[in-house]
Structure 1
């Protein structure tokens, strides 16, 4: 199978896979650049001597330093938790585009406030700015995956939502290396630690500029009754005329999904809340979506992202500069394997298999790293160089990165963007994003204390959670690769879960064949079906 071969739910014109769809995904994914940069730069910035000197860290006890560092890092996640929920009414009433612009504006304001912090003003502006920036990225983490998934053709939906993850990793790569750069090229000073904070304004500025020009989601417009605008946007995105057979099928599927939604959940701001509390199917999928982020954070990724110098010190890496360099290599590995995930793995191997493989391989690596620390006790090693065992431990740490990044890092976001009805999608994504930020907050808040009290057992703790996640995914998460958004209800109804995907695709192919036979039976050229013929029931829509 070639790297760019597509697994399609139906014959799809080449025009559908055009530059516009990728451009829209890239602009929206500036939100994840903001998130990725922060997750990478903040921990290493706090380890800079210039930052510690300006805010008096050198005069504090280790416990106090751990507490303040944890507070600076975690107040961002606290803001993001609430931002994920605040984005729901914005996305519902004003649309995905306005939601993205609002997220960029709030983040930019927060990042600007952080730049006012210094030794005289104290850390208050830093705390306040990080909470505000967190609100912005929380909103972005809700709206961006929804926006992209609503634009995407099924065959490349995983790849396009994966652009969101790619933006996260590119931001992280810059964030991991920025402090190594300023530490290498600048003397310790106020400006040295301020530059990494100022760089946050670049991705948010790109989002504000690009967001002004992007198109609104056609599916949101259909849901708001703005049919002509929706069809116009959809034709522009697909680069196909309205009377193309592909467009007729897609519009018919959207119409049918909305009709079904009106009968089941209903259309309106409060209807999804009612469904979340009364509809068992919706409640179950909300649980699955939120739990995926528990297992994602249970892998230990955010402990490593936010406190990478502490993690590498536990393995035996010595010296601030060496630790920053090692962290930079970690960022490079993550970015490289994310490209592989984006271009090939997510839409070929599938979501479910990736989660299973990543959890199994990652768990083995963490057991080995923890065992090395338990036996060799590198914290007692006064040498500036790693031993042979330390080098092996670093190898397995980077191997863990290779297993984790193309599996659990982005795949939960893809799944959550796919598995809900259109009117439920915004609330569901808000719950999923809030779940991510809740567990992210707990990990970032208590990681310093965990390493102080648990030592090597931290790695065993995360390795055990990765094993448990295998059981969860195997029995509860169906494969969604190549399944249209409008068919997710049917997919989740099929049991057992591990056979649902094959049965769903077979049913879709049968529906496609039936539709084309009905068209031919009506004496109509398949390539010349007009919208009014579908609407007048001359032929049945594909998903009927």
Structure 2
């Protein structure tokens, strides 16, 4: 499959930006599906609650677990991503993820299609719905690790941060698209239809981008670093030449071979424990600041603020637009300002937003001020921890351990995501103010973590990471 695009070294003398951005765009469709799949539940969760949870007399805990069930699959997908990407390649792993997205969308929208009667909720149907969501979650887990890995391994060092940030833009854009889709499906429809049929169309709509992603992947090359790991040097040189031009391709290939040495894979602790700990904590902090609570439960949060169903959907769309704009800000600045400054600024902005929401909650003040601080919080995340976390996780690990180290870090990220998302309803039942205060404190701690432990990687090649972590052992 890596031979899909053949280069002509004598004719390619400079960096081919059109080719680079083209294959990056295809890879970022995995990010779009990541965002689409994780946010589609925001419009459907209340219908699921009425149809399956309250219909069966189950608790809020079961509701939270069902809304978050895809995250179990995300943990699994993240955990196996390194093995699949190393054994079958980055490209084929993404094709498998596209298939899982399609299957999950089809099954989640019609969980009765094989074994159950439509309109008759049973425990078996609840299990089947969760099964299909978990299947989609495995696709998300794979895409969340392999998409930035793929982009980092094809991107020239000087624009790598920007290109990986496009993946986060695609994630947020996917969320914005599904917010519009959910609003379009429910707009003007009676509640009864939304609760019976509307939520099904929300899930089924994902079949279209999943199919497009799978088909487009057939036309992109495998990454040169994976090809080098497989001792396919001519194929790696062909892709590098098409990306960087003939003059630079040979130099980059020699750097890759030098970083691999005689041993193309290494033990996970070859570079010490610090690099793995930094990667894991980076992913955990990205979730413990509470971002997915705002994304998964956005319509419900706005309804609790006093907005009606249609108004809450519109406010969710507004939040999605703000998220996209501030992700663009990160794309424009990540290779200019560096990773650390953006992360620290974002952490402080998130802390301001969440601690203010906590104070308003304790004072029982709900109104436009709450909306403003939610937007401050999410905007701060989107211009920092949203894209930059994935940039760093994709680039800080040396070539020899990148697949397995990313798998551990990404699995940790999804485990933290599941913990935060599934406990939110119960935490809110206990105290809304204390819940938001917890996320605010985590935001402050994330700033301290970045200041003390994160190295600046702006402008460094992936091969430089081996030297960076060898020195720090």
Please show how residues 185-204 of structure 1 align to structure 2 within 5 Å.
185-187=188-190, 188-189=192-193, 190-204=196-210
Task: State which drifts further: 51-60 or 411-420.
Answer: 51-60
Structure-1 separation of matches of 2:425 and 2:299:
11
Counterpart contact for 2:287–2:413, Cα < 8 Å: yes
Cα shift at 1:335: 1.0
Match of 1:442 among 404, 410, 419: 419
Cα shift at 1:494: 5.9
Structure-1 separation of matches of 2:214 and 2:321:
27
Task: Report the secondary structure of 2:221's partner residue.
Answer: coil
Match of 1:334 among 310, 320, 323: 323
- 2:142 maps to what in 1? 139
In the TM superposition, what whole-angstrom CA distance separates every residue of 1:501-532 from its partner, at most 9, and x where no partner exists? xxxxxxxxxxxxxxxxxxxxxxxxxxxxxxxx
Counterpart contact for 1:83–1:139, Cα < 8 Å: yes
Do structure 1's residue 399 and structure 2's residue 369 form an aligned pair?
Answer: no
Counterpart contact for 1:478–1:492, Cα < 8 Å: no
Do structure 1's residue 417 and structure 2's residue 420 form an aligned pair?
Answer: no
Counterpart contact for 2:49–2:63, Cα < 8 Å: no
Structure-1 separation of matches of 2:254 and 2:392:
24
Do structure 1's residue 161 and structure 2's residue 167 form an aligned pair?
Answer: no
Cα shift at 1:198: 0.8
CA gap of 1:65–1:25, structure 2 versus 1, over 3 A, is farther
Structure-2 separation of matches of 1:494 and 1:398:
41
Do structure 1's residue 114 and structure 2's residue 118 form an aligned pair?
Answer: no
Counterpart contact for 2:53–2:62, Cα < 8 Å: no
Please show how residues 38-437 of structure 1 align to structure 2 within 5 Å.
38-48=37-47, 51=48, 53-55=50-52, 57=54, 60=57, 64=58, 66-117=60-111, 118-120=118-120, 122-187=125-190, 188-189=192-193, 190-238=196-244, 240-241=245-246, 244=247, 246-259=248-261, 262=262, 266-268=263-265, 271=266, 275-276=267-268, 278-279=269-270, 281-314=271-304, 316-342=305-331, 344-378=332-366, 390-437=367-414
CA gap of 1:463–1:196, structure 2 versus 1, over 3 A, is same
Cα shift at 1:407: 0.2
Cα shift at 1:351: 0.9
Gaps spanning 5+ residues in structure 2: where?
Answer: 1-11, 112-117
Cα shift at 1:468: 0.9
Counterpart contact for 2:303–2:309, Cα < 8 Å: no
Q: Which has the higher contact order (CA 8 A, sep 6+)?
A: 2
Please show how residues 516-535 of structure 1 align to structure 2 within 5 Å.
none
Structure-2 separation of matches of 1:267 and 1:235:
22
Cα shift at 1:27: 1.0
Counterpart contact for 1:47–1:320, Cα < 8 Å: no
Gaps spanning 5+ residues in structure 1: where?
Answer: 1-12, 379-389, 498-544
Cα shift at 1:59: 7.8
Root-mean-square deviation (CA, aligned residues, Å) is 2.1
Counterpart contact for 1:146–1:417, Cα < 8 Å: yes
Structure-1 separation of matches of 2:429 and 2:177:
29
In the TM superposition, what whole-angstrom CA distance separates every residue of 1:41-87 from its partner, at most 9, and x where no partner exists? 20221224xx5554473784xxx452333122222100111111222
Cα shift at 1:457: 1.4
Cα shift at 1:195: 1.1
Cα shift at 1:372: 1.5
* Number of equivalenced pairs: 450
Task: Report the secondary structure of 2:68's partner residue.
Answer: helix
- 2:25 maps to what in 1? 26
Counterpart contact for 2:86–2:403, Cα < 8 Å: yes
CA gap of 1:92–1:310, structure 2 versus 1, over 3 A, is same
Structure-2 separation of matches of 1:467 and 1:459:
13
Structure-1 separation of matches of 2:444 and 2:411:
24
Task: State which drifts further: 296-305 or 181-190.
Answer: 181-190
Task: Report the secondary structure of 2:306's partner residue.
Answer: coil
In the TM superposition, what whole-angstrom CA distance separates every residue of 1:325-355 from its partner, at most 9, and x where no partner exists? 211111111011112211x121111111111
CA gap of 1:172–1:14, structure 2 versus 1, over 3 A, is farther
Structure-1 separation of matches of 2:283 and 2:53:
36
Task: State which drifts further: 149-158 or 33-42.
Answer: 33-42
Do structure 1's residue 457 and structure 2's residue 463 form an aligned pair?
Answer: no
Max Rg structure:
1
Cα shift at 1:235: 1.2
Task: Report the secondary structure of 1:341's partner residue.
Answer: helix
Counterpart contact for 1:367–1:459, Cα < 8 Å: yes
Task: State which drifts further: 137-146 or 111-120.
Answer: 111-120
CA gap of 1:494–1:422, structure 2 versus 1, over 3 A, is closer
Counterpart contact for 2:15–2:242, Cα < 8 Å: no
CA gap of 1:95–1:70, structure 2 versus 1, over 3 A, is same
